[in-house]
Structure 1
Amino acid sequence: MKSRLNIFLKYFLIAGFAFVIISCSNTKFLKEGQLLYTGAEINIENDTLPKKDKNELKAALEENLTPKPNSSFLGLRPKLYAYNATKEPKKQKGIRYWLKYKFGEEPVLLGDVDREFNKDIIENYSENKGYFNAKATYDTVSKNKKAKVIYTLKPGARYLISNVNFQADSSVINQEIQKTKEKTLLKKGNPFDLDVIKAERERIDNNLKENGFYYFNPDNIIVQADSTVSKNHTVEMNVKLKENTPDLAKAQFTIDKVVVFPNYNIRDVKKGKYKIPMNPDSLSGYAYGDIFVVDPDKKFKPKIFDRALYFEKGDLYNRKDHNLTLNRLISLGVFKFVKNEFVVSDSLQHKFDAYYLLTPKELQSLRLEALGRTNSANYAGSELNLNWTHRNFFRGAEQFKASVYGAFDVQIGGPKDAENIFRAGTNVQLSIPRIVAPFRFNSSSAFVPRTNIILGYEFQNRTTLYTLNNFNASFGYTWKENVRKEHELKLIDITFVDPANVTPKYLESIGNSQYLKRAVEPQLIYGPTYSYTYTTTMLPRKNTFYYKGMLDLAGNITGLLTGANYKKGEVKEIFGVPFSQYAKIENDFRFYHKFAEKTSIATRLIAGAAIPYGNSENIPFARQFFVGGSNSIRAFRARTLGPGSYDPRTQEAGFLFDQSGDIKLELNAEYRANLYKFLNVAVFADAGNIWLVNEDPDRPGAKFSKDFLSEVAVGAGVGLRLDFSILLLRLDLAMPLRVPYYEKGDRWAFDRINFGDGSWRRDNLILNIAIGYPF
């Protein structure tokens, strides 16, 4: 290992030295008189300004200066060198074009810097932040064909707000403004700040939009700063309506008519069928409460509009209900386009007629899918799915989905005589856009809550081993508080596994292994499950977060009522099958940090535990945890890692079985960057394992103990991601760095790495091919 390390260090130092040489030689490409611009420096001369304020002002000013110098890494500029050193390509494609114009950066010269313009930016920005007498100067420093610009700012004293006045009058709009003046963002003693003034105008506008002033605009508000009435560098702020504010902007509107067209089509508009405003009395529709529905074919029940529309006759217009209604109509999932118009009434003053023009999707669709797949466990296969969807099953925007499928997975490598897998099944789902329950459920969310009913059956055949019949059914609800928070509650989630055709070959292969025997025993799992998701990944932020927590409680009430206790030999059965009793919790934390538009780091932590008790000694196989594979610890084949320090190689040759556990801990980190258009690259590291709660004599070392950290597996690798917008193909090549089933003290595998050995590469380099990101 020492010799390999010395060779590695040697080449690393040579490469690093060459990198420094080529990166420092950018100036040799400059023409006579040209200077490479290396950036700007800002000095602020004000001894009375607090350090925090000075640093904030300096950082903001540097961000506003243009242009930015060439990017650097550890003081070097490899992208600039790539541009300079690459000859002009003959065509706008190829590696030379990519190096020069895609990876490379054109040099930023001192001549590109408008120093007077930047000086004005510094002065204007400083004044906008309350430094009314700011003065700036600049100087240029050059050396060795490089130049930087030093700007010196003398901001003077910062002006503070001495008083805030809201001009009052008897108008309705002014009375609304006066009601919220206590919530003003302009606070006495705070610095004058133009950004805060803009935010205050937006605040007033938002409040007025919630109180009927549909046509109001932030520009109708003026905030005047008067420094003549105050002393000691203070200003008085006066907030008032502009004198030329249009009468329409000062009018407060209420809703008169609400008209819904649930079968709106743009082609009919061109034919003159829809003309707005219109007289509902002349339309072939009907009234449902305060809503007038134009639906001659009666495709939709009017109740769905009553639940989705938040405006009623006589309501004061407000933007919250405006947006809420549109979002709820969209989340019904049955309309392709949702449009609304508020038209000023011809006959009534300050009244709106609200029109909702809804273009439905195709109500029924039939789709046939053929899929091909492979995984790191040496299986390749195909799947055929036939799916039928009806988006308005009972005319209430209920979504009904039915599917039938067939699939097979064939062993293409690894141990000989491994078993192929065949699956076939059917699944039906009904999603109702409301909470079906004996109690009333009110939701003010922009997302329609749903009741979900699912029934399914799957036939699974492991060729010469056994056959499984899987039945599942569930009833529950999903609802979202907002775009970040989502809940899913299954009041009942039932799984029944009925083994059949267990062959003598399987029984002979497993011997006395209780773990493998449980795979072919009847299983009955039922109980409630709940999951909660919180995410900010859809927001345009540098740092975003994702969390999903799941709680699964099986057989708890039944176990309590029947007094089930396997330790005392009192195992209870339902229809001749022992029911499972356990508690399971799983947590998935993810954190994303964006360095640039297409460069980021993603991390994930998964922690979960399942505890059997009462009627069960073990967790059902279908509810246990697994690790390894393309979306987990990628240096180990799917479901072959763990539990604990158990060595799966000790199993009988040619007979592999998925390894499962009751406790799971996994940590992943991945650096992602864009190389060229659709081509992305990643460097990643994965760590984790699974463990059992109870001792298993068939799998020594599998139980969770205080030494669990010594049994954590570690892998690392590199990957390519081909992002075609509608499809992301992922290729990850990983190798193990720490193997938990090696001898304790010898689990790190650095000394075994040998890329020149074909046998080592075959056993340790794992290629994962998958669709989408792993997390």
Structure 2
Amino acid sequence: MKINFSTYYKYFLASGMTAAVVSCSNTKFLKEGQMLYTGAEVKIENDSLSKKEKNDLESALKDNLTPKPNSSFLGLRPKLYAYNVTKEPKKQKGLRYWLKYKFGEEPVLLGDVDKEFNKDIIVNYSENKGYFNARAKYDTVSKNKKAKVIYTLNPGGRYLISNVKFPADSSEINKEIRALKDKTLLKTGNPFDLEVIKAERQRIDDGLKNRGFYYFNPDNIIVQADSTVSKKHEVELIVKLKDKTPDLAKDQFTIDKVVVFPNYNLRDAKRGKYSIPMNADSLKGYEYNNIYVVDPDKKFKPRVFDRALYFEKGDLYNRKNHNLSLNRLINLGVFKFVKNEFVVSDSLNHKFDAYYILTPRELQSLRLEALGRTNSANYAGSEVNLNWTQRNFFRGAEQFKASLYGAFDVQIGGPADAENIFRAGANTQLSIPRIVAPFRFNSSSAFVPRTNIQLGYEFQNRTTLYTLNTFSASFGYQWKENIRKEHELKLIDVTYIAPANETPKFIALKEGNPYLTRITERQLIFGPTYSYTYSTTMLPQRNTFYYKGMLDLAGNLTGLISGANVRDGNQKNIFGVPFSQYVKVENDVRFYHKFTEKTSLATRFIAGVAIPYGNSNFIPFSRQFFVGGSNSIRAFRARTLGPGSYDPRTETNTRALFDQAGDVKLELNAEYRANLYKFLNVAAFIDAGNIWLLEDPQNERPGGKFSKNFLSETAVGAGLGLRLDFSILILRLDLAMPLRVPYYEKGDRWTFDKINFGSGAWRRDNLILNIAIGYPF
């Protein structure tokens, strides 16, 4: 492979000159005496701090300084430039107004910077981190109408915690505070840190809330710092209750009565049609397991609330159970608003009643959806869905969903022998908000465990080729341990696939081609499946993680009992159809790193394998792995890549008809994401991976078998993308090109020397536009 470095050098030189011109051109719009503010620099003068401590402190101080300079991208300030070059709009709308005031940024000038204020921020922040003797100064550096401010900090020695005291007295609340001290966040030898002190006050408040002190507040705790009792640069902390803490905050409350209003309507309440008497003795309802339910129309079975609520009469108030109850009521999915109030019923004995005021959602809904779509395999089509939902099917917050759908996909462009696809079907699902089983399942999670029952049917017609009928059914459970961990176990997951028609054209195509024959074989797949998901992506952290593992065990117990062994000629049937027997494992790992509020890196690694045995020689086509397309390796059309180094171009008569499938899958993706303007995001990405076969005894797809040379058969693609994020909808456009093609000759698989953007033929064959909804991962 020969790379013309002189050409690339010209490109880089031209890019650099362009950056310099655009950057300098922003300053020509400044008035006499104005200077463009390019940001602040923080320097720390202290030999006792480590390099990491200095860097962390400098970064934190810089984040607190104001104002922020104009945003830049690769050294350029395109938003500032757009503001400067766009003439003043005559109206507050239109393209010119959008460019100047929505996309554009007004210049941030040196005169906008309050340097004394920033100096005070630096000193105050340093003191809050334990640098009690901090001093700061600043200086301004300017050149070519640009200026930056350099702040220099001399923090002095950092004060460490020498001792932490929790003074004792005879009050009940003091005893509870002292009972919490073993898990204090204030550790001897650690630096003084105001944020840690605030967190300690919150920790104590949380602990007291879980011990009945409903009216307590973190502000009732004071942490005093004394630097006179220890040696230099040490401080003693005293954690105690404020003297002026209200008496109500010192009282432990217990639950007297639990009252539920499950059919509260805010609109009717405003009209005076429906009011809630905050006096449990005057309620007109009924009691169920110590819960008062006010439901005149009996829309809900009372056991729904017995399962969801964690408070009982006589319980000490507990904030954890308080939140658990609210979250479980919300996760039932049947209530639009959930409100909780506590009303003191016996102030002398410190008791209150717990009221749960629930506003139901519309119990039934009917929705018609119509959508258009396109994919990278040159298919365009439409789909229509009719969905009906009943959210209280048996009066126990069971959700029943039924849908009818019809869809068609027509191949536009591409090979002349392409075939169109028509699909129609129906699905039903009953979701019960509890575990239906002969054993007792106790869950202390805020998420309601569910039993799911599903039935489905799909009719698929590939016009002049074949027709398939697919029947599916499943029964299983779904539950979450907490916000991070989720489990889904399908005790039985059944799929039956039966061909209804094979045309003479398809029969001729599959003669002598066992791979095509397997597509329309009768298939009976049943067995348990299990998936586990662990995710921290919902947490406000710089680094977040996502993992999903899936295990599919088809026909395992049946094959074991029946002694099925297809390789010994002992294949077993059920109702005249051989059942599938295999083990399939798939792992999806993702890591997200946030550089700034507007830039991040997302990575994903997928590894999967499916192994047939016993009653099966091959994995059913519908359970194999596929790659390519808008959510996979985007430089290759959907499901056209692989297996291994197999060249799909050899399928002269069938290449447009069938998906390439494999038993092993490896895929790696990386994507740099940046926000340009509100809803407008850009991305640069690279994808790599492939699929392989475990066995290919008849050499149906040469080069497709997994071997020690699998790395040399890895496909690589890269590209750029635009994402229009409208909150409720994310429209994604990714333009990708292949960098490595596994079915080329071994020494010629990298394609850098073949890139030719000026060639229409090259662009047509190599630039793949993916249009999709949502992010790829």
| TM-score, normalisation: structure 2 | 0.94
> Residue 748 of structure 2: SS of its match in structure 1?
coil
Q: CA deviation at 1:767?
A: 2.3
One-letter identity of the residue aligned with 2:691: I
Q: CA deviation at 1:406?
A: 2.3
Q: What is the match of residue 707 of structure 2? A: 705
One-letter identity of the residue aligned with 1:329: L
Q: What is the match of residue 684 of structure 2? A: 683
Contact 1:545–1:591 (8 Å) recurs in 2: yes
- From the superposition, tell whether residues 621 and 306 of structure 1 become closer, same or farther in structure 2 (CA, over 3 Å): same
Contact 1:472–1:493 (8 Å) recurs in 2: yes
Correspondences of 1:42-57 after superposition (within 5 Å)? 42-57=42-57
One-letter identity of the residue aligned with 1:559: G
Contact 1:509–1:652 (8 Å) recurs in 2: no
Q: What is the match of residue 204 of structure 1? A: 204
Correspondences of 1:259-658 after superposition (within 5 Å)? 259-272=259-272, 275=275, 277-345=277-345, 349-653=349-653, 656-658=657-659
Instruction: Between 571-580 and 252-261, report the one with greater CA deviation.
Output: 571-580
Q: CA deviation at 1:210?
A: 0.6
Q: CA deviation at 1:11?
A: 4.1
Q: What is the match of residue 746 of structure 2? A: 744
Residue-by-residue CA offset, 1:291-316 (whole Å, 9 max, x unaligned) = 00011111111111000000000111
Contact 2:280–2:353 (8 Å) recurs in 1: no
Contact 1:226–1:235 (8 Å) recurs in 2: yes
- From the superposition, tell whether residues 85 and 560 of structure 1 become closer, same or farther in structure 2 (CA, over 3 Å): same
Q: What is the match of residue 723 of structure 2? A: 721
- From the superposition, tell whether residues 171 and 131 of structure 1 become closer, same or farther in structure 2 (CA, over 3 Å): same
Q: CA deviation at 1:264?
A: 0.7
Distance 1:637 1:48 in 2: 58
Distance 1:602 1:581 in 2: 36
Q: CA deviation at 1:279?
A: 3.5
Instruction: Between 671-680 and 484-493, report the one with greater CA deviation.
Output: 671-680
One-letter identity of the residue aligned with 2:736: A
Q: CA deviation at 1:523?
A: 0.9
> Residue 471 of structure 2: SS of its match in structure 1?
strand
Give yes or no for the alignment of 1:181 onto 2:181.
Answer: yes
Aligned length: 775
Q: CA deviation at 1:281?
A: 4.3
- From the superposition, tell whether residues 268 and 737 of structure 1 become closer, same or farther in structure 2 (CA, over 3 Å): same
Instruction: Between 756-765 and 618-627, report the one with greater CA deviation.
Output: 756-765
One-letter identity of the residue aligned with 1:517: T
Residue-by-residue CA offset, 1:434-453 (whole Å, 9 max, x unaligned) = 11111111000000000111
Contact 1:119–1:151 (8 Å) recurs in 2: yes
Distance 2:657 2:552 in 1: 29
Q: CA deviation at 1:75?
A: 5.7
Q: What is the match of residue 764 of structure 2? A: 762
Q: CA deviation at 1:49?
A: 4.2
Q: What is the match of residue 133 of structure 1? A: 133
> Residue 405 of structure 2: SS of its match in structure 1?
strand
Q: What is the match of residue 110 of structure 2? A: 110
One-letter identity of the residue aligned with 1:602: A
Gaps of at least 5 residues in structure 1 are none
Instruction: Between 753-762 and 347-356, report the one with greater CA deviation.
Output: 753-762
One-letter identity of the residue aligned with 2:748: D
Distance 1:2 1:413 in 2: 34
- From the superposition, tell whether residues 151 and 370 of structure 1 become closer, same or farther in structure 2 (CA, over 3 Å): closer
Q: CA deviation at 1:385?
A: 2.2
One-letter identity of the residue aligned with 1:474: S
Correspondences of 1:76-225 after superposition (within 5 Å)? 77=77, 79-92=79-92, 97-225=97-225
Q: What is the match of residue 661 of structure 1? A: 662
- From the superposition, tell whether residues 569 and 70 of structure 1 become closer, same or farther in structure 2 (CA, over 3 Å): same
> Residue 483 of structure 1: SS of its match in structure 2?
coil
- From the superposition, tell whether residues 290 and 375 of structure 1 become closer, same or farther in structure 2 (CA, over 3 Å): same
> Residue 23 of structure 1: SS of its match in structure 2?
helix
- From the superposition, tell whether residues 232 and 623 of structure 1 become closer, same or farther in structure 2 (CA, over 3 Å): same
Contact 1:162–1:189 (8 Å) recurs in 2: yes
Instruction: Between 123-132 and 657-666, report the one with greater CA deviation.
Output: 123-132
- From the superposition, tell whether residues 110 and 258 of structure 1 become closer, same or farther in structure 2 (CA, over 3 Å): same
- From the superposition, tell whether residues 47 and 385 of structure 1 become closer, same or farther in structure 2 (CA, over 3 Å): closer
Instruction: Between 478-487 and 728-737, report the one with greater CA deviation.
Output: 728-737
- From the superposition, tell whether residues 351 and 272 of structure 1 become closer, same or farther in structure 2 (CA, over 3 Å): farther
- From the superposition, tell whether residues 310 and 689 of structure 1 become closer, same or farther in structure 2 (CA, over 3 Å): same
Distance 1:125 1:410 in 2: 63
Distance 2:761 2:374 in 1: 22
One-letter identity of the residue aligned with 1:313: K
- From the superposition, tell whether residues 137 and 757 of structure 1 become closer, same or farther in structure 2 (CA, over 3 Å): closer
> Residue 646 of structure 2: SS of its match in structure 1?
coil
- From the superposition, tell whether residues 52 and 771 of structure 1 become closer, same or farther in structure 2 (CA, over 3 Å): closer
> Residue 567 of structure 2: SS of its match in structure 1?
helix
> Residue 357 of structure 1: SS of its match in structure 2?
strand
Distance 2:625 2:327 in 1: 37
Distance 1:458 1:75 in 2: 54
Q: CA deviation at 1:408?
A: 2.3
> Residue 497 of structure 1: SS of its match in structure 2?
strand
One-letter identity of the residue aligned with 2:215: Y
> Residue 249 of structure 2: SS of its match in structure 1?
coil
- From the superposition, tell whether residues 137 and 273 of structure 1 become closer, same or farther in structure 2 (CA, over 3 Å): same
Instruction: Between 588-597 and 509-518, report the one with greater CA deviation.
Output: 588-597
Distance 1:381 1:750 in 2: 34
Q: CA deviation at 1:773?
A: 1.8
Distance 2:161 2:453 in 1: 60
Distance 1:245 1:649 in 2: 80
Q: CA RMSD in A?
A: 2.4
- From the superposition, tell whether residues 731 and 49 of structure 1 become closer, same or farther in structure 2 (CA, over 3 Å): closer
| TM-score, normalisation: structure 1 | 0.95
Distance 1:758 1:75 in 2: 32
One-letter identity of the residue aligned with 1:466: Y
Instruction: Between 235-244 and 67-76, report the one with greater CA deviation.
Output: 67-76
- From the superposition, tell whether residues 3 and 604 of structure 1 become closer, same or farther in structure 2 (CA, over 3 Å): closer
Q: CA deviation at 1:710?
A: 1.6
Q: CA deviation at 1:266?
A: 0.9
> Residue 328 of structure 1: SS of its match in structure 2?
helix
Contact 1:225–1:237 (8 Å) recurs in 2: yes
Contact 1:415–1:653 (8 Å) recurs in 2: no
Q: CA deviation at 1:218?
A: 0.9
> Residue 18 of structure 2: SS of its match in structure 1?
helix
Distance 1:474 1:714 in 2: 37
Contact 2:19–2:75 (8 Å) recurs in 1: no
One-letter identity of the residue aligned with 2:474: S
- From the superposition, tell whether residues 69 and 163 of structure 1 become closer, same or farther in structure 2 (CA, over 3 Å): same
- From the superposition, tell whether residues 74 and 362 of structure 1 become closer, same or farther in structure 2 (CA, over 3 Å): closer
One-letter identity of the residue aligned with 1:439: F
One-letter identity of the residue aligned with 2:292: F
- From the superposition, tell whether residues 95 and 716 of structure 1 become closer, same or farther in structure 2 (CA, over 3 Å): farther
One-letter identity of the residue aligned with 2:405: Y
Residue-by-residue CA offset, 1:737-765 (whole Å, 9 max, x unaligned) = 22222222112223333334333333322
Correspondences of 1:19-98 after superposition (within 5 Å)? 19-24=19-24, 26-72=26-72, 77=77, 79-92=79-92, 97-98=97-98
Instruction: Between 737-746 and 255-264, report the one with greater CA deviation.
Output: 737-746
> Residue 325 of structure 1: SS of its match in structure 2?
helix
Give percent identity, aligned residues only: 81
Q: What is the match of residue 694 of structure 1? A: 695
Q: CA deviation at 1:70?
A: 3.8
One-letter identity of the residue aligned with 1:738: R
